A and B are shown apart, each in its own frame.
Chain A
């Protein structure tokens, strides 16, 4: 049964459930209504029966020899009892009829009332003829000199009251099934109608495949339950789609970039073998090939790291640390590169703390400082500034005195393998992945990477990170950024003019 029930469609189950519960509730309501009305309508009659009772108790007496006395006079069995006197029966302690006084003749009555239940007061109804219904009040009656109690029963015609009640009964009997039928059928169709979007969603969802992730579920009413489910499902699809697209781009970019060092590797090896050489020359050739192999390895490591960071899933271990210390250490480390080019790195580090992933933070910053040194002329100054923003965020900015990025190139700044000058970038050992990585890390950490072109010349990169973490909102923020996608990133690369530095 349970299994059968579970296999039914939801709309069937809902309709059936409402039908059963509705029937029970309506039937209970109708019954309560019926009995209440019946009781209220009979109340005047019962009142009359009570006054009949007091009249009989006043006038009727039973002598010790069981003779009946009415108003002090012996009472004889009479065929027609006057209608002005109360109608009554007396039943003795053996439930035998002692006497019955009512105005009906023998042929009027088809069925006489049966003996009353003994010992307690009851009100009941008897049909004595098809068109004659009596309402009777039975009470125990003490006969002087007798041990057991007799029963005294008062009677009145019930019929006029019965008419109205009968009509009510008919109304209920006819109306109840109609209402229930409407409930079942209407309920089924309304449920079906309301759950219709579910069918549409299911059909649409079944058409979505990895190759066709652009489809979305229709959202008819974003406010209701189904709309919310569809919205959430669509957001999930957005994430899936961006993951798949990131993967596609990765494969396309990587296949191009990986071929370059491989080509070098092969040609160096092949050319090396074209003629006999000295041991030194061979060592040189092998060394050159090993260099290219290492370069290939670095490229693969970075690409995999980028793919993982863009999918939003590198291991993140948040700890609290001093930003100024971390930035200072990073500047120290890369200081030798600046020194080699006769550059200076000027730092202005405000003491502040942050809770974020120290490794990813350091990588992000290292990429920026490395770029700044790489693209600045000899003898220039790179400025690294740490400050706390009024909004409670931490900003790390790296400014160089290079040529800056032209506005048309700013759009491509964080794209993979972007180099402002491709030939120069490769000769300097860059893959053009540093800013992509930094941006991906910032996204993972809930921060942002911003670019400004400095006047008269130079670039300013800023990392803006939340100071602490709001554990449950990270993924949402991250997601929101992903959804807005590259447009937002482009928009934030504004060409604002910084204060004169």
Chain B
């Protein structure tokens, strides 16, 4: 099951509201690479004008804007009765800000600095276009994982994995073809949300072991390291 098969024919329309030009343009370009239609706005006023003129499937909204708070923009959007999902971006990470953001009608919340892969994953979730594969049997090439019996088979031979390794492999398979960052693994697989003490070295060691078991003797390597970003499960050509 390839992730592209999940997508529907008409691409989603995204509005990116961010005052920092470099960030804005790189986010827009990254999203366009997903074949999405992206429009950008640098100020809250421009964003509200765009939102009044056309409809979007998702708004990526920066908290700190030069003319008005992202929260204000969000409240006005909701005040106008628009139900468009909103993903807030912010440099603040305290719980209180998080509560304020979610209370004012944001659907999700991403703290800066973030990995683009993470933004993509959250956006897809909000667009209800999951990038992850579903179902009991997950496959990629000759690798197959049964999520119920928690067993993995590659080329007809069963691979002996620890429970944590099964978790990681399942997660990679669900996001196959996409980059998975260490932060995503740390949060979703290791269930550790605290950022101060990172498990990066644990994750790296774990991934090295998993790769030995999965790719060890196979001709084709399925687990790729994307340097400086994270990992991706898929065929090397992708």
Contacts and interface: CB of A to CB of B under 8 A. Distances in A.
Interface of A: 283-284, 286-291, 293-294, 297-298, 301-302, 304-306, 315, 333-334, 336-337, 339-340, 359, 363, 366-367, 370, 429, 434, 437
Contact of A301 (B95, B196, B201, B227): B196
Interface in B176-208: 190, 194-202, 205-206, 208
B196 A333 contact: no
Nearest to A336: B205
List 4 tightest A-B contacts by C-beta distance, closest first. A290-B228, A287-B227, A305-B196, A287-B228
Contact of B227 (A290, A334, A370): A290
B190 to A, nearest CB: 7
Interface of B: 95, 113, 190, 194-202, 205-206, 208-209, 226-229
B199 A288 contact: no
Contacts of A293: 113, 228
A324 to B, nearest CB: 19
A471 to B, nearest CB: 21
Given A315-B95, A333-B190, A336-B209, A301 B195 contact: yes
Nearest to B162: A336
A291 B201 contact: no
Given A302-B196, A359-B194, A363-B194, A288 B205 contact: no
B227 A297 contact: no
Contact of A294 (B95, B209, B228): B228
A337 B196 contact: no
Given A301-B195, A336-B206, A363-B196, A288 B227 contact: yes
B201 A333 contact: no
A301 B200 CA distance: 14
Contacts of B208: 340
Contacts of A284: 227
A110 to B, nearest CB: 95
A294 B209 CA distance: 23
Contacts of A294: 228
B194 A291 contact: no
A22 to B, nearest CB: 56
Contacts of B226: 287
25 contacts: A284-B227, A287-B226, A287-B229, A288-B228, A290-B229, A293-B228, A297-B113, A298-B198, A298-B200, A301-B195, A301-B196, A301-B198, A302-B196, A304-B196, A305-B195, A334-B202, A337-B205, A339-B205, A340-B205, A340-B208, A363-B194, A363-B197, A366-B197, A370-B201, A434-B197
Contacts of B199: 333
Contacts of A291: 227-228
A477 B40 CA distance: 53
Nearest to A367: B197
Nearest to A297: B113
B95 A429 contact: no
A437 B228 CA distance: 26
Contacts of B197: 302, 363, 366-367, 434, 437
Contacts of A429: 200-201
Given A289-B228, A306-B196, 5 more contacts: A283-B227, A287-B228, A298-B198, A305-B195, A363-B194
Contacts of B209: 336, 340
Nearest to A315: B95
B205 to A, nearest CB: 5
A333 B202 contact: yes
Nearest to A314: B196
Contacts of A370: 201
Contacts of B202: 333-334, 336-337
A461 to B, nearest CB: 15
Contacts of A340: 205, 208-209
Contacts of A286: 228
Nearest to B225: A287
A179 to B, nearest CB: 63
A320 B65 CA distance: 42
A216 to B, nearest CB: 33
A368 to B, nearest CB: 11
A339 B208 CA distance: 12
